[in-house]
Every structure is written in C-alpha cells, then in structure tokens.
Chain A
Amino acid sequence: MKLELGKFEIRDVQFAQRSYIEDHVLYVNKAEVEALVLEDDKLLECHLDIARPGERTRITPVKDVLEPRVKVSGGEIFPGMIGKVSPQVGSGRTHALDGMTVVTVGRIVGFQEGVIDMSGVAADYCPFSKTVNLCVVIEPREGLETHVYEKAGRMAGLKVATYLGELARELEPDTIEVYETKPVFEQAAQYPDLPKVGYIHMLQSQGLLHDTYYYGVDAKQIVPTFMYPTEIMDGAIVSGNCVAPCDKVTTYHHLHNPVIDECYKQHGKTINFMGVILTNENVFLADKERHSDMVAKFTNWLGLDGVLITEEGYGNPDTDLMMNCRKVERAGTKVVLITDEFPGKDGKSQSLADTCEEATALASCGQGNMTLHFPAMDKVIGMQDYIESQIGGWAGCINEDGSFEAEIQIIIASTIANGFNKLAARGY
C-alpha cells in the first residue's frame, strides 16, 4: 500500500461564523459542531472550548484525543466507526490537521480518565501541552449506563474529528509525505541486504471499558493479523478505552504511532520495514497462549530478523508482552520491548508484573508512580471534582486552591508505552 499523507500546519484554532481553514488557522463554527454532537440523544449538553500551549489551563477528565483527518481518496477515515468499513484504508491520499487535536472531556465514565495541563511542571509530561486543543465537553443524559456513555463520548470525538478533517479535503497541504509498504515478496526483494523488521502492536482488549477497535471490530474478538502500517495512519485502529491515563494510546497516538514513524525513517536505510503484526491482550490464559503462539508464527513465517513490541496498559498484559517476547525470540527473531514501569511510589518494587530471560532489550517509557505537585490553574476545562478517584490520585490529594498531589499516571499519555515520549527511567 502507498499512502500520501498531506499535512496542514495548524497554529491556532478560533471560533468563527463558519468553519474553514486559512493561513494555518482552523476556524470553527461552534454552534454547528455542538449541534452535530447533540444529534446523539444520549448527550444532554455539549460545549466547545479551546486550550492553547502555555495557558494556565487544565483539561480533565479527558476521555480521548484525536486528530482531524480526511481520506481524499482510498476509502473513508475511521473505517467501520464513522467511515464506511469498505474499501479498506491505507492507500490513496489523506489530509491531516497537524498541530491541533480534538479532546473529549466530561464527567468520568468509570474511573480512568486523565489530566492535561497546558503549562507548569505537569505539562512537560504530556504531549498535548504543545498542541492547540479543541475540547468537546459533553454532559450525558441522566442515569446513562456507563457503556452507553463511553460509546457516546467516543462517537462524539470521532464525529468532530471527521467534520474538521473534511474542511481540508479540497485544499493544498503544506507538506506531503509518502509512505509505502509493498506486498511481502516485493518488499523483501526491494532491499535484499537490509534486515527485515516488523512491529508487533499490542492492543488493549480487557473488556469493561478497556477496548480498542480495529475497522470497527472489538479487539477482544480478533486473533493476530497482519496490517500495512499506513492503514493505522488512516484510523483503522481507534481507542475505546480508559485504561490508566498515562498508558492510554489515544486515537491521536494511533494515527501518530512513533514506532511506525521510526521504522519508516529507517526503511531502506538500515532496515527493510515489512509491516505490522497486530495482536491483543485478553484476560484468559488460553488467549494469551494462543495469540502469542500466533504472533511468533507470523514473525517466523515473514522471515523477520527483528521486531519492536509495544504494549498498552500494565499488569497482566505484561504476561502477554513476555510471552510474545519469549516465543518470538525462540522462533528466531530478535526482540526489543518498549514499555513503561510501575515500581511503586518509592520506586523500589518490581517494574513489571512478569519477566522472561529473553527480554534483554527494553526501552523504558518512564515509571508512572512518581508523584508531582500539580499547581492551581486559572482555567479548568471540564471539572476537577473527580481528581481523587482518578487513577494516580487519592483521597485527600486535592487542596482548596485547586492544586493537588498525584502520581504522573494521572496525566494523559505521560508514560505511554509505545515510545512516543522522551521520558525514561533508570536504576539508582
């Protein structure tokens, strides 16, 4: 598949009488977007707000972060969710609004939504302190069941991102990047002397608001499969989970997968990037065993020399990570793991729930238990009412003035285990 990704550099977002893009500014008709979201009768209220880098603004509780994109050709964006499920995506031309995001915010669904600070010490730990964020703050109808609320929030974000992406359809992007992965034999033949490298992408699929969607299919239901990396750039994978905020792979992060980015950077130079092996993290031992066997079957069958593996979440998915690592290594492919750590508040406990001796190469994304003092902000988009029950907070952690103490795992994507950030941990 070959994809042309046209990027529009967006430097600011402003509300206006109509929605359009001009001179690197995205203008949004607030009322139109709010009405669009409220077409879903599960939602009582919706209002938009804008948060810019450097502002003394906090956004919480954050459900998902997305980037507006549109398929100019080759299918529809977010296939199976908003766009038509067929034709599949990953080729043709896609336009993206780069430098801004859509953030869905609202009363907590369950427990695990997070915080984004646009300035201050916590801003350093969050990639979204550097983007202009259009916040879609929603209020569910009275008594709405949690699964229904989660879906409503998810669809709201996808709708807005799609609506905004559409604005760029006919325009000329600032830059165009071309990504291509050929069918397996051709790809192997293109760079015969370079090591064949693949990316094993593990999706959160633990049920109970811990889901991810692949072309609209709940990832709990999939068995490992092959993907062209460009499919992911077109939203074939969408986040449906509220896993610990620090770890959550937002839809934005799926679109901007750093391992895929890195692999394409090296493609044709130091490696022959063969593609992505997609797998999940189910709660049954049998699934873990079965799927790790299948992953190793793929790496062996594709003749891969090396793979990078990323995980989403922590705890029992560490077992899936280690099973994948062990079986893939034993099947003859070299493995490097990328993940984050949870060694307890004092940093003294084991970082991972499981281990294997084949895990000799691990790039750390930092440890999520360290605590920070989050300063009081001038503006809160959403509400701070839930900080104490959000993961990383605790009873009594919040102060009268709105400042609070919490583990950095309360910050969206602070230790995201796909290697997006520079944060790492080392042993002292």
Chain B
Amino acid sequence: MAKYRIVHYLNQFFGGIGGEEMGHYEPTVQEAVIGPGTALAKALGDDYEIVATVICGDNYFGENLEKATDIICDMVKQYNPDVFVAGPAFNAGRYGVACGTICKAVEERLGIPVLSGMYEENPGTDMFKKDVILVKTGNSAATMRKAVPAFVNLIQKMATGQEILGPDIEGYHERGIRVNYFAEERGATRGMKMLLKKMAGEPFKTDLPMPKFDRVPIAEPVKDIKHAKIAIVTSSGVVPQGNPDHIESSNATRFGYYSIEGMDRLDKKDFFTVHGGYDRQFVLENPNLAVPVDALRNLEKAGEFGELVNYFAATTGTGTATGSAAKFGDAIGKRLLEENVQAVILTST
C-alpha cells in the first residue's frame, strides 16, 4: 500500500487524447498513470502512487477558466492526495497557464501542496512562479527525463513536510520571494567586499538584483486630435459619493467606471476621494484637481480634441500591488479598445 498519494494533471496531448484538434476536450479523471506520469511514478518508487490523472484540453481550460477550475478541484478533492502535480508544460503557453492556474486553485481551496514545471519562457512561468513552485525544465518534452529528479525530490519534500530550500539547490524557477537568513558576515562587511570587487572590475554577486520593470512598446501618437476620443483614468481614488464599488483606501483590489455624462465638471456633492495616501482636503473640496473634467470639457467644447468619453475609470494608487495595477490596466485597456478610444489621460497624485 503506497504511503503517499498523488493526483496528476495533463493536457490533451500528454494525456494521449489528441493534438490541437482535441484542445476542447472536457476534463476527465482516470485512476491510472498516464504519459509523463509513468516516468515520475517509476522514479518515486513504491512509497508513492499516482492514484488518478486528470486530463483537460488546453482550449477548454483557457476558455472556461472558472468552470474548469471548479470541476477539476472537485475531482482532486475526491482523491484526497498528498501532493498535486501538473504537467510539466515545457514551453507550451496555454498548457503552462492551465497548470499554474489549477495548481494555485488546488492549493488555495484544498490546502494541498502543489508542484508544476515549465520552461523559462513559458508565459505561465512569470505569471505563476510567485504562487506555485515551478521546476525548471527545457523547452520540449524531450527534456522530460532531465526534469524527473527535481520533480521527485520536491514531491518527496512536499509529501513529508521537509523544508524546501533555495531555487538553485532544488531546481525551480526563482520565485521572487525574499527570505531572511543570518549571513556569516555583517552587512557592512559584505558591502565592503562587493565594493572592492566592483572597483577592481571583478565579478560579484549582489544580494538584491534590481527588478526589471517591463516596458511596453510606445503607442503611436494620436494623428487627428480634433476627432480623437479621449478617456480619463485616475489612481487618485476619486469615486462617486458612497463609494459604490467599495474601493479601498490603500492596496486597492478593485476599480470602477463612473459616469460623467452631462457634467461640465466634477462636483463635490457627487464625488469624493477614498485615497489614503495623501492629504485629501483639496480634492474633497474640488475633485477636478485630480480628475480634470472641467478643463477637459472646455477644451472639448473649444474643439481642441474630438470627444471626452462619458465615464472615467478610477482606483486608489497607494500601497496598491503592481500586480493589481497591471490587471486593472489590462481590463480598462481592453474595454477602451473595444469602444474605439484613441488616447488616455491618466492622472496620479
């Protein structure tokens, strides 16, 4: 009788269902070891058993995120595994995102340790490495054999509750989580050693690599401003009285769209600000200081630009995680694109 139970997740291809044409395959679960699971099971030995394998088409998962996640979590729950393993996805993007998504959900909802693996450039890696431990793999299934030892080691540690060490030791993608430890030497000494090397032009290792904030390609300028449709977006926390969407004063988790139809300016009886990071008294008195509806309406009437969109999007900028801000921007951008908005004025405090 195996001591530790594992449920394995695969896409339609690795599950042996078919290729791209079977991407719509709805989730099924079988009490069997399938595809790459075989290599894992063999290396794990008799104390571990893959008691079930879930197979789901990448397209089905991607197009039915919530439903697929619900269904699969229920499947996993039935088997009550000690560890949930997905993939590895190598460089397959949709598969990587599916693996990351389902792993994150299983851990959050069922409290089961989860593990997946993918190639560095798989979009799923950047998206999920913070939340899920992702074994570093090569970019194709041909590298499966090389990935097995890292998988086996981590599965064993997760099942037995052993401490998982750093990414270089255990073979997973650096998650960007900062963990304290007591170094041999104090900070000033470490700093001096780094300086001596830096001055001598020798290689050294920094304790904190600077994050690379990604850049977006510069959007083309507006060609015909007189006919351009422009929208206001703000992080100043200006919202209608009553804060109908309950936007937080700090570390916002949501944003809203607020109508300015028929308004020449923002009036303080209709709008206020919830932003907790600046002295609110001025914006409370005159919201146009943060969301310049009055000025833009005048410029609109004067023909300086085509049309001011009849609503603005708002959230609170202070303490708000960069991840959240990116999500809001993405949702807002999508909607504005659909509505043919040509440019955005985004105001921040």
Contacts and interface: CB of A to CB of B under 8 A. Distances in A.
Interface of A: 124, 195, 197, 258-259, 261-263, 266, 270-271, 305-308, 334, 336-338, 341, 343, 346-352, 355-357, 359-367, 370, 408, 418-428
Interface in B208-242: 208-211, 213
Interface string B179-193: 111111111111110
Nearest to B197: A361
A428 B174 contact: yes
Contacts of A261: 188
B208 A362 contact: yes
A418 B187 contact: yes
Interface stretch (B13-21, B47-55, B79-87, B199-207): B199-207
Nearest to B174: A427
B94 interface: no
B199 A305 contact: yes
A421 B187 CA distance: 6
A343 B188 CA distance: 21
B334 interface: no
B146 interface: no
Contacts of B321: 349
Contact of B322 (A350, A362, A418): A350
Contacts of A308: 188, 191-192, 195
B42 interface: no
Interface of B: 130, 166-167, 174-192, 194-196, 198-199, 204, 206-211, 213, 321-322
22 contacts: A258-B188, A336-B192, A336-B194, A338-B188, A350-B211, A355-B213, A359-B210, A360-B198, A361-B194, A362-B210, A419-B189, A421-B186, A422-B183, A422-B184, A422-B187, A423-B187, A424-B183, A425-B179, A426-B166, A426-B181, A427-B166, A428-B167
B196 A270 contact: yes
A356 B210 contact: yes
A350 to B, nearest CB: 6
Contact of A422 (B167, B178, B186, B322): B186
Contacts of B208: 341, 351-352, 362, 364, 425, 427
Contact of B199 (A262, A306, A338): A306
Nearest to B165: A428
Contact of B187 (A351, A370, A424): A424
Contacts of A424: 180-183, 187, 190, 207
In this complex, which of A262, A338, A363 has the most chain B Cβ atoms within 10 angstroms of its Cβ? A363
Contacts of B210: 355-357, 359-360, 362
A362 B198 contact: no
Given A258-B186, A357-B210, A426 B178 contact: yes
A420 B178 contact: no
A367 B174 CA distance: 17
Contact of B178 (A266, A351, A356, A408): A351
Given A305-B199, A348-B130, A419 B178 contact: no
Given A348-B176, A349-B321, A426-B181, A306 B188 contact: no
Contacts of B322: 349-350
B187 A363 contact: yes
Given A350-B211, A419-B188, A423-B182, 14 more contacts: A306-B195, A351-B178, A355-B210, A364-B208, A370-B179, A420-B186, A421-B186, A423-B183, A425-B180, A425-B207, A426-B166, A427-B176, A428-B166, A428-B167
Nearest to A124: B182
Given A351-B208, A427-B167, A366 B180 contact: yes
Contacts of B178: 341, 343, 347, 351, 367, 425-428
Contact of B191 (A305, A363, A367): A363
A359 B189 CA distance: 18
A347 B181 CA distance: 13
Nearest to A258: B188
A266 B322 CA distance: 41
Nearest to A425: B178
A173 B112 CA distance: 62
A360 B197 CA distance: 12
Contacts of B198: 306, 334, 336, 360-361
Given A262-B192, A350-B322, A422-B185, A334 B179 contact: no
Contacts of A341: 178, 208
Nearest to A195: B199
With a 10 A CB-CB cut-off, give which of B176, B208, B322 has the most chain A CB atoms: B208
A427 B178 CA distance: 5
B182 A361 contact: no
Contacts of B188: 258-259, 261-262, 308, 338, 363, 418-420
Q: 4 smallest A-B Cβ distances: which pairs? A: A419-B187, A419-B188, A364-B207, A258-B188
A420 B187 CA distance: 6
